[in-house]
Amino acid sequence: MLRILGHPYVLLALTTLFWGGNAVAGKFAIGHVSPMILVFLRWTLACLIMAPFAIGHVRRDWPTIRQNLPLLFCLGACGFTVFNATFYTAVTYTSAINVMIEQSAMPLVVFVASFLLFRTQVAPLQIVGFLITMIGVALTASHGDPKTLLSLDLNRGDAWMLFAVLVYGLYTAALRLKPAISWQSSIFCLSIAALITAVPFALVESARGAAQWPDLQGLVVVLYTAVFASLLSQTFYIRGVELIGGNRANLFINLVPIFGSILAVALLGETLHGYQVLALAFVIGGILLAEQSARRKIAMAGERKDE
């Protein structure tokens, strides 16, 4: 069982499931806790939960951590705080349809960033797999009628979401620079950086008179985002990137709108339509095709090395 749970596909599938739940949680948060207060409380709680398990690892890894503090701080600030702050802001101003479409562009950002920064090569079949997953995402986002995509307008929320996609795509590509420390140390350091950078966001929101501290429903949202959408998902995602690389791991992000739709059915009482089942087939098929290409490329590289 532990071996199965440690498989990169399982880790990344759980990551996207929790992120799909994060999108639903963002909708539940509206009117019950303001975006920046949610981000601040999310990382406060995450740090408190993680501290007892991580302090010992941080002490052992401290010489390496100290040498890489600026990098770890930037990763935590961008990947954890800035992304979530812009994501929750985007959900406030734009539709879930737009958010899902824009989030599906994240793998493309990772492909381009990995190539520009590290000259990471992308196999043709990986591009094909990416395009197939985009078809699935488009089907989901358009509710089975891709023609509706042509009528979408870019508003303030869409602009925020596009910025969030850019930030998280760059964060994913930059994860390969992360120092070789334990996953407990990694998550805790990034979470501390996220908490520190969440403070000014919360203060600005309070100064504008827009801050709202959570009621009971808001507290449930904070708890979910702290445990599942923060600690578990980020731990699984970082480990998945370590195992199969940013380009391959990021393709799984296109499962987020699929899981989001399923959770919407379960939690919001929406109907599961045939196009959603078809979309799931496209997304999974695209991921499998891209993975087959990547595994073949790795195998060929290994054969050439042995010659």
**C-alpha angle 196-32-201 in degrees, rounded to nearest 5:** 25
Domain spans in the chain, listed from the N-terminal domain onward? 2-125+151-272
**What pLDDT is attached to residue 97?**
61
To 10 degrees, the CA torsion angle through 138, 144, 147, 150?
-40
Q: Tell me the pLDDT band of 293, cut-offs 50, 70 and 90.
A: low
Average pLDDT over residues 270-277: 71
**What pLDDT is attached to residue 302?**
53
Q: Tell me the pLDDT band of 23, cut-offs 50, 70 and 90.
A: confident
For the segment 63-100, what is each residue's pLDDT rounded down to a tens digit? 999 999 999 999 999 999 999 889 888 878 876 666 76
Average pLDDT over residues 257-264: 77
| CB of 92 closer than 8 Å to CB of 245 | no
Given a cut of 60, is residue 1 above it in pLDDT? Answer: no
For the segment 206-220, what is each residue's pLDDT rounded down to a tens digit? 999 999 999 999 999
Given a cut of 90, is residue 290 above it in pLDDT? Answer: no
Q: Tell me the pLDDT band of 150, cut-offs 50, 70 and 90.
A: low
Q: What pTM, to 2 d.p., does this model score?
A: 0.76
**What pLDDT is attached to residue 2?**
43
CA distances from 136 to 62, 152, 245, 287 (A): 44, 18, 23, 11
**What pLDDT is attached to residue 239?**
84
Average pLDDT over residues 30-46: 93
Write the secondary structure of 114-155 as one string of H (helix), E (strand) and C (coil): HHHHHCCCCCHHHHHHHHHHHHHHHHHHCCCCHHHHHHCCCC
Query: Which amino acid belongs to residue 64?
Result: T
